[in-house]
Amino acid sequence: MLTIHRVRGVRRAPDGAADPGHAVVVSGDRIEAVGPYEELYERYGDRARVRDWNGVLTPGRHEPDGAALLETAYHPDPREAGELGTAPLTGDALTALGMTETRWGASARRGVQRLLATGTTSISGPFTHPAVRTAVTRSGLRDRPGPQALAPGAHADFAVFTEDGRCVVTVLGGRLVYRGR
């Protein structure tokens, strides 16, 4: 199915200027087209759903310390907040938890969700811990040096941010993986 992501503007490269009134068309896991919304709607509107987002669509953020963030910290479950707090635990606090494979996997999944909520679309490894590597792979986050430019044929990995920098939505491989409030 085709989806037109209509936004206030599209920033094709992480450091580029936003093109106001532009939109992105996604087909499956790839970008089909980028251009002025009116032109894209005329071309694809009869066979595409339209998603309206209040912000600027960008290639998303890159987390260069992904391996350290996920492999050397425990991201507490909300049910543990009373006992452990909500911030990631490292060092002696991490050692005291007695981490198991199951606990590492759950922590990594919560860490990945936190990254997606900030508009992160790429992350750097290497991921040596099996449970962390599995969580990253299943999330759709790509282990690469940085986000790719938004262009036809590229992976449909992007995020939409408001003027104040809040992430509205994160899309990986054409799938909506995070939607803010």
The closest of 3, 9, 34 to 161, measured between CA atoms, is 9
Q: Please, what are the averages of pLDDT over each run of 10 residues along the chain (181 residues)? A: 96 94 98 98 97 97 92 93 93 90 93 95 92 92 86 97 96 96 76
Give the E-state strand segments of the chain in sequence order: 2-6, 9-11, 18-20, 22-27, 30-36, 48-52, 56-58, 61-63, 120-123, 142-143, 158-161, 167-172, 175-179
pLDDT at 116: 96
d(C-alpha 69, C-alpha 159), whole Å: 20
pLDDT at 26: 98
pLDDT at 148: 87
pLDDT at 41: 98
pLDDT at 24: 98
